[in-house]
Structure 1
Amino acid sequence: MVPFRFVHAADLHLDSRFAGLSHIPGPIRNYLREAAFAALGRLVAVAVEEEADFVVISGDVYDSADSSLQSQLRFHEALTEFSKRGIAVYLIHGNHDPLDGPRLHMDLPEGVTVFGADVPEQVVAVRRSDGQEVAVVSGLSYPTAKVTENTSLRYRRKEGNRLFHIALLHANVDGDPAHETYSPCTRRDLIDSGFDYWALGHIHTRRILNERPYIVYPGNIQGRSVIETGPKGCYVVDVDGGGIASLRFRELDEVRFLIRDISIDEMVRETEWIEAVERSVEDIRALHPELMSVVRFRITGRGSVHRVLAEKGAVGDLLDELRRREALRAEQGLFRGLVWTEGFSLESGTEVDRERLLAEDSFLGEMMRVAAESVGNGQALDEFARAALAPLAENRELRRLLAEIGEDEMRAWLMRAAETAVTLLSDVMEPGEEESRPFPEGRNRQGGR
């Protein structure tokens, strides 16, 4: 087998709007609008810099079936640049950009292959330097937006061919609850297929589900909200002469979404909290000087400062001031290093004896125990959240939004609810009153009889 290198990317979502951002000045809004295109440009630059033999893109190039003219032209421009550099591109379409969506009919640049929707096509990829055959690339696009069949079962390794086999698949592997179950399949389905590398798309979190064979989600190339935090980009994959792959992640995002915790433990004055937030802003700026950062601050812990934050409107006042400062930077064209505060999540509480609450036989004690158990156990959290949110799931739009909520977000909701309940109930009960209210006779701590 001949050594070679390729780049694996997915979920470009070139039409996507940034979610959860309000009151954004015009210059910053325009910068955000260009972020996905900037990430696409970096994808081209990485492939060139790494001297990749080819690039695979595993679906959702666009964010909607009726993609904008601008996004189509910009993507065609990127494909043309790949072609000029002699870098082949193999791509499939996913649920956001199915083949039946209205799009311009443009001739594909030389070296670009778009896989169809009938059967997984097989194309032989070659090494750029000498034209030697190095891999068989297979792919299957979505004909329409909703594909509920396990399409992975249609893929077949090319009989008698000892080249490295790569499969492009836009799918939900093992039923990730945070994403729609399109083209659902299992890890076992993919492992048993005989392919050497499954280039996945659809899940926006970077994950390596398996090695030997590799089953890989590179995540999207640009985060779109504080649900999609951390570095976003692509994988550079090197395959040696023995057919063994090794992966390196390359960052592509122009705007980085972050969540930062600010604890009010042991804080006495409001100014201490303000200074802590301002220090965190500058720490983020120093950490990501070449990016624009969008941050949500989670206010955690317990202390006397909580009442000030909850009642005086101090959170909103500081938010306005932080945004004003960054808007001034944007007016000067200083987008790199800009730190835009998306908002504050107040998850702190008044001072209570948490250990006492967790140990006592009371309503508050049971509530704190349930919350703590659910936060620390992924399965318990999922079961608790599904039961609590079931009434909301009857609404189609709310059901779609809930499907996008990740485990970290659910944990935050649960802890905020618990802290709020403890604060409110502690305020209305006299000291010692809670201890005098055990569970009614005959009812156990799980609420049963």
Structure 2
Amino acid sequence: MIPFRFLHAADLHLDSRFVGLAQLPQAVRSYLRESTFAALGRLVGVAVEEEVDFVVISGDVYDITDASLQGQLRFQEALKQLAGHGIQVYLIHGNHDPLDGPRLSMELPAGVTVFGAGEAGQAVACRRRDGAEVAVISGISYPTAKVTENTALLFNRKPGSSLFHIALLHGNVDGDLQHETYSPCTRKDLISRSFDYWALGHIHKRSILHERPAIVYPGNIQGRSVKETGPKGCYIVDVNPEGLTDLRFRELDTVRWQVKEIPIDGLTDEGELTNAVEQAVEEIRGELPQLMSVVRFRLTGRGRVHRILSEKGAAADLLSELQRREAARAERKDFAGLVWTEGFAVETGLPVDRERLLQEDSFLGELLRLSGTSGETADGLEELLSAALKPLMENRELRRLLTAIDGVEKQDWLRSAEELGITLLSGAEEAVRAGGQHPAFAEMGGSEENE
């Protein structure tokens, strides 16, 4: 087999509107809107730098509701740049940019292959430097936004060909509950088709589901919300003479989304809370000096500042001040190292000895024991919430919304319910207000003065 190299990307979502961030300062909002285009530009740069033989894009170039003229023109420009370097592009359309979606009728540059719908089309890819045939590429585009059948079963190797076979599929493998179940299939389905590399799209978290054959989600090229944290980019894939693959991830994002935890244990007042958050901001700035960061801080743990957060609105005030400072930086067009605080998730509690409460022969102790046992497994959590939410599930619309909630959010619900129970039933809040001591936190240092 002739060795070659290609770039695998998916889920570009060009010109995404970044839903939920409409209230941002204009300079910050504009930079975010430009970030998907910046990532596309970096993709072209990486393809040229790595001297890839071709590029494969596994769907969702645009958002169906955001297929702007600018997005389409910028993508056409990127294709022309790749063509100028002799780099061919093979792509499919997914659920966010189906073939029947609103788009301009424009002539694509030479060397760009768009696979149609209905059956897996095939094309032969060549190595750039000598034109040698190296791979058979197959792909299926979405004709409409919702494809619910298992299209993986429509893929077949080219009869009699010993070339490396690549399949482009936009779909949900093994039922990822955080994404819509479009073109559902299993790893077993993919392995059975005898392809050498499955270039997947649709799931925005990068992962290598199987090594031989390689079954790969590269993730999206630019994070767009706090649910899409960490580095985003593409894979460079080297295929050796034995047909084995070596994958290297290349970062493309210019805006990095993060969730960072700040424990409040030991903090005593607003000043110490502010210092802890400001220190966390500067740590992020130091870690990613060339990128803009968008961060949600999770305030966790137990301590005196819980009351400040829950009653005095300290988190909202601190958020406004942090955003004011970074907005001023953005006005100066100083986006490298900018750290925009998206919000605070307050998951704190009163300074009680939870372990002691767990041992109590009381209603609260029983409640905490039930919560702890149920939250240990996904099945246990589901059973508890199903019983609690049974009246709501009788409403069709509420049932649809509730079944879409992921396990992480359900764990947050359970944790919030625990804290509410502790606050209302332990008597700790009254003791803290009175400046006295409560048995549940007597062993943690006694009264507030000693904490």
TM (normalized to structure 2)?
0.90
Counterparts of 1:46-445 in structure 2, within 5 Å, are 46-64=46-64, 67-373=67-373, 375-381=375-381, 384=384, 391=392, 399=400, 403=404, 406-427=406-427
Task: Report the CA distance between 1:397 and its aligned residue.
Answer: 9.1
Instruction: Name the CA shift for 1:370/1:247 in 2 (closer, same or farther; >3 Å).
Output: farther
Instruction: Name the CA shift for 1:101/1:42 in 2 (closer, same or farther; >3 Å).
Output: same
Task: Please list every run of 5 or more consecutive structure 2 residues that lacks an aligned counterpart in the other structure.
Answer: 432-437, 441-451
Q: Does 1:5 align with 2:5?
A: yes
Instruction: Name the CA shift for 1:210/1:374 in 2 (closer, same or farther; >3 Å).
Output: farther
Other structure's SS at 1:320 match: helix
Deviations 1:132-190 (A, max 9, x none): 11111000000011111000001011122111111000011111111111111011101
The total of aligned residue pairs comes to 432
Matched AA of 2:318: L
| Distance (Å, rounded) in 2 between the aligned partners of 1:383 and 1:77 | 52
Other structure's SS at 1:125 match: strand
Identify the residue that residue 438 of structure 1 maps to in structure 2. none
Task: Report the CA distance between 1:362 and its aligned residue.
Answer: 3.7
| Distance (Å, rounded) in 2 between the aligned partners of 1:127 and 1:102 | 34
| Distance (Å, rounded) in 1 between the aligned partners of 2:63 and 2:397 | 20
| Distance (Å, rounded) in 1 between the aligned partners of 2:233 and 2:321 | 32
Matched AA of 2:108: L
Task: Please list every run of 5 or more consecutive structure 1 residues that lacks an aligned counterpart in the other structure.
Answer: 434-449
Task: Report the CA distance between 1:252 and its aligned residue.
Answer: 0.8
- Tell me if the contact between 2:15 and 2:34 (Cα under 8 Å) persists in the aligned partners: no
Identify the residue that residue 30 of structure 1 maps to in structure 2. 30
Task: Report the CA distance between 1:384 and its aligned residue.
Answer: 4.9
Deviations 1:234-269 (A, max 9, x none): 111111110000111111111111101110112222
| Distance (Å, rounded) in 2 between the aligned partners of 1:65 and 1:418 | 40
Identify the residue that residue 15 of structure 1 maps to in structure 2. 15
Other structure's SS at 1:34 match: helix
Task: Report the CA distance between 1:387 and its aligned residue.
Answer: 6.1
Matched AA of 1:339: V
Matched AA of 1:359: Q
| Distance (Å, rounded) in 2 between the aligned partners of 1:245 and 1:310 | 53
- Shifted more, 228-237 versus 370-379: the winner is 370-379
| Distance (Å, rounded) in 1 between the aligned partners of 2:407 and 2:19 | 18
Matched AA of 2:235: Y
Instruction: Name the CA shift for 1:73/1:363 in 2 (closer, same or farther; >3 Å).
Output: farther
Instruction: Name the CA shift for 1:411/1:17 in 2 (closer, same or farther; >3 Å).
Output: farther
| Distance (Å, rounded) in 1 between the aligned partners of 2:387 and 2:145 | 29
Instruction: Name the CA shift for 1:282/1:432 in 2 (closer, same or farther; >3 Å).
Output: closer
Task: Report the CA distance between 1:20 and its aligned residue.
Answer: 3.4
Instruction: Name the CA shift for 1:393/1:255 in 2 (closer, same or farther; >3 Å).
Output: farther
- Tell me if the contact between 1:307 and 1:350 (Cα under 8 Å) persists in the aligned partners: yes
Task: Report the CA distance between 1:129 and its aligned residue.
Answer: 1.1
- Shifted more, 267-276 versus 167-176: the winner is 267-276
Matched AA of 1:338: L
- Shifted more, 93-102 versus 21-30: the winner is 21-30
Q: CA RMSD in A?
A: 2.3
Instruction: Name the CA shift for 1:374/1:27 in 2 (closer, same or farther; >3 Å).
Output: farther
Matched AA of 1:147: V
Task: Name the % identity.
Answer: 65
Matched AA of 1:353: D
Task: Report the CA distance between 1:9 and its aligned residue.
Answer: 0.5
Instruction: Name the CA shift for 1:11/1:367 in 2 (closer, same or farther; >3 Å).
Output: farther
Other structure's SS at 2:349 match: coil
Task: Report the CA distance between 1:204 and its aligned residue.
Answer: 0.7
| Distance (Å, rounded) in 2 between the aligned partners of 1:88 and 1:389 | 53
Task: Report the CA distance between 1:421 and its aligned residue.
Answer: 2.9
Deviations 1:100-132 (A, max 9, x none): 112111111011000000210111111111111
- Tell me if the contact between 1:5 and 1:238 (Cα under 8 Å) persists in the aligned partners: yes
- Tell me if the contact between 1:9 and 1:220 (Cα under 8 Å) persists in the aligned partners: yes
- Tell me if the contact between 1:346 and 1:416 (Cα under 8 Å) persists in the aligned partners: no
- Tell me if the contact between 2:298 and 2:345 (Cα under 8 Å) persists in the aligned partners: yes
| Distance (Å, rounded) in 2 between the aligned partners of 1:55 and 1:275 | 47
| Distance (Å, rounded) in 1 between the aligned partners of 2:72 and 2:188 | 36
- Tell me if the contact between 1:120 and 1:139 (Cα under 8 Å) persists in the aligned partners: yes
Instruction: Name the CA shift for 1:77/1:300 in 2 (closer, same or farther; >3 Å).
Output: same
TM (normalized to structure 1)?
0.90
- Tell me if the contact between 2:134 and 2:164 (Cα under 8 Å) persists in the aligned partners: yes
| Distance (Å, rounded) in 1 between the aligned partners of 2:92 and 2:122 | 12
Other structure's SS at 2:142 match: coil
Matched AA of 1:115: F
Instruction: Name the CA shift for 1:55/1:407 in 2 (closer, same or farther; >3 Å).
Output: farther
| Distance (Å, rounded) in 2 between the aligned partners of 1:105 and 1:397 | 41
Task: Report the CA distance between 1:401 and its aligned residue.
Answer: 9.0
| Distance (Å, rounded) in 1 between the aligned partners of 2:29 and 2:386 | 35
| Distance (Å, rounded) in 2 between the aligned partners of 1:371 and 1:231 | 34
- Tell me if the contact between 2:237 and 2:248 (Cα under 8 Å) persists in the aligned partners: yes
